[in-house]
Amino acid sequence: MSKYITTPIYYVNGEAHIGHAYTTFIADTVARYERLKGEDTFFLTGTDEHGQKIEESAQKNNKPTQEFADEISATFKNLWDDFGISYDKFIRTTDEDHKIGVQKAFETMYAKGDIYKDFYEGHYCVSCETFFPETQLEDGEFCPDCGRSTNIIKEESYFFKLSKYEDKLLKHYEDNPDFILPRSRANEVINFVKGGLRDLSVTRTSFSWGVKMPASFNDDNHVMYVWLDALLNYITALGYGKDEENMNYWPASTQFVGKDILRFHAIYWPAFLMSLDLPLPQHIGAHGWWTRDGEKMSKSKGNVVAPKVVADAYGEENLRYFMLREVPFGQDGDFSQRAFIDRINSELSNDLGNLLNRIIGMSGKYSDFEIDSVDVEKYHSKELQSMQEVIANLDPFMENLQTHRYLEELWKLFSIGNKAIEEYAPWTKMKEDKKDEALATVALVANILAKASIMLHPVMPKTTNIVADALNFEINNASYKDLIVENKLLKLFNIKSVPPLFPRVEEPLMEEAPKAEPNPPKQKKEQAKETTTKEVDNLIEIGQFFETSLKVGIVLEAKEVPKSKKLLKLQVSLGESDVRQVVAGIKEFYSAEDLINTQVCVVANLKPAKLMGMMSEGMLLAAKDEDGLCLVRPEKPKKAGTPIG
């Protein structure tokens, strides 16, 4: 079965930032994972180069538009090449083959009666390339998405009959609950469609930088509107409208997007495909945004994270690991150097790197670097069983795009290895003249490292190739079948010495982001005095604070509450003999499936209360602002019941 993985095509009005890198890393990881399993996989990325914003940016830079687009597009392609991204095609919307495919699609939609000509008058945001009805504007004129001022535009346009597909879209969402991942993102799309869809303007006459109309229309005043042009790249890259050489890969398996462009990919895109009588992608995976040290990134704040700068300081694969491990897919993530360093030192250096070094050292001392798995099953059947259980749990996490849970589960293998060394103490066995047992433990850990490196390979391909080379095998579909699917062990081999994979990081290697200066509120002296008084009145003694018991909990089970739009019923372990039931109003922001086996912070000594007839024995800590709600979680996994304070 073939697989088709895509990133969005990145807009060439600026160079790549950390959000672009995250999307590309996770798409590359999924593509590598599918190839590892033997699936015929096609991976697409590229750049979006048309539209009024590009035309204006080129003019500001005193460059021809194509030259400007060429330069910015090259920065993306060069970055992905530097990072070893395994794309099969890098598409540009200025490619001639793409333009031909877009024109073909336009003709097909028009012939079907889904495109018609009319006039449009409305508020247009140049930055978002989107029209908005006046009812959606902030303060009557500002874009609801980016906050910038809109322009009132009246012009002739071709329209796509988006309203025609409203019911079909809703039925598709209902019949395919995993179409949008994570599922928690689906509600916003469904509610938007239920609110009624207006026909979509798909051409413009106020600028010229775009795909021209098909020659058969004899209408040179129009160019394709950016979303019709951009979204079609996913099929023009496969040859749609020309040779259709790779259309066998369609429909896409997973199309990765940021949450800010989910609406276009989950509403416009499937409607276009329905019009073209093409099947819809299996999944649209929408991830969150990245902040830096808790603050939104912006050029004006000077806190934008450039992925190349981070990779040069800390290592590209360390960056890949951190971003895929740090945040649940779909939620916003925070880039913190301290958190990054902690993961490098504790998980990569201590757990993985140190385990490999210990095995190299012991095998050199006990057996002249020779490792034989002959006695592993005899002495370590318990560890082998535990290892297989961990490996069996991994695939569903990757299938559901939960790379943080995939890596969290995978790391249990290194725990098994480190625990085995401490429990069986090969150095003691050697002194007791039990060499067979000592070498069996060394071989057990070598096999753990081999199997773990195979499963870690999609995330850290270069690093795991070093591990595999040290263990004298190659990571490919053949070794995946042998060591993972068929559960075989390594054959007799000589291990190689390698330099430490993850040198410890003792201090930040990049300049910290400047702290944002808070804007002083404009208020009268009387208001300031009143505010100060209120703040003083609300101060508490430290003893009062410690009366609140805050603990780390693990969500063991999560269910939706019938007839409630907000409530989820959770079973939470706080390390006590009994599991607690907590009823939380977070259904709009989290699906029940996303919460299972995740950690939360709980007010543990809250008086039990009934919500909709259900007893709730605690409260989850969460933060909420204009971007939505997110749960407060420990930076690193902690034992259930660990006190907070």
Q: How far apart are CA 37 and CA 527, in angstroms?
A: 65
Q: How far apart are CA 210 and CA 216, in angstroms?
A: 17
Q: What is the 3-state secondary structure (H, E, C) of 13-29?
A: CCCCCHHHHHHHHHHHH
Residues paired with residue 429 on neighbouring β-strands, in sequence order: none
Helix (H, G, I), strand (E, B) or coil at 308: helix
Q: How far apart are CA 50 and CA 30, in angstroms?
A: 29
Q: How far apart are CA 454 and CA 465, in angstroms?
A: 9
Contacts of 168 (CB under 8 A, 6+ apart): 271, 274
In degrees and rounded to multiples of 5, residue 631 shows phi and psi of -75, 145
Q: How far apart are CA 257 and CA 250, in angstroms?
A: 18
Angle between helices 316-326 and 18-36 (to 10 degrees): 90
Tokens describing residue 487 = 């559960």
β-strands 493-494, 370-371 pairing: antiparallel
- Structural contact between residues 450 and 470, judged by C-beta atoms closer than 8 angstroms: no
Q: How far apart are CA 52 and CA 591, in angstroms?
A: 38
For the annotated binding site for Zn(2+), the residues are 125, 128, 143, 146
Give, as one character, the DSSP assignment of residue 578.
S
Angle between helices 403-424 and 316-326 (to 10 degrees): 110
For the annotated binding site, the residues are 125, 128, 143, 146
- Structural contact between residues 84 and 317, judged by C-beta atoms closer than 8 angstroms: no
Q: How far apart are CA 5 and CA 88, in angstroms?
A: 10
Residue 195, judged by CB atoms within 10 A of its CB (0-12, 13-18, 19+), counts as: exposed
Q: How far apart are CA 133 and CA 125, in angstroms?
A: 11
- Structural contact between residues 221 and 203, judged by C-beta atoms closer than 8 angstroms: no
Q: For 225-257, b where at least 16 C-beta lie within 10 A, e where not — what string?
A: bbbbbbbbbbbbbbbbbeeeebeebbebbbbbb
Using alpha carbons only, give the angle 19, 24, 25 rounded to the nearest 5 degrees: 95
Tokens describing residue 563 = 């007839």
Query: What H or E segment, with its residue span, contains residue 220?
Result: none
Q: Is the peptide bond before 251 cis (omega within 30 degrees of 0)?
A: yes
Q: How far apart are CA 241 and CA 575, in angstroms?
A: 60
Contacts of 13 (CB under 8 A, 6+ apart): 53, 54, 57, 72
Identify each DSSP E strand in 278-393 by its residue range: 283-287, 290-292, 295-296, 333-335, 370-371
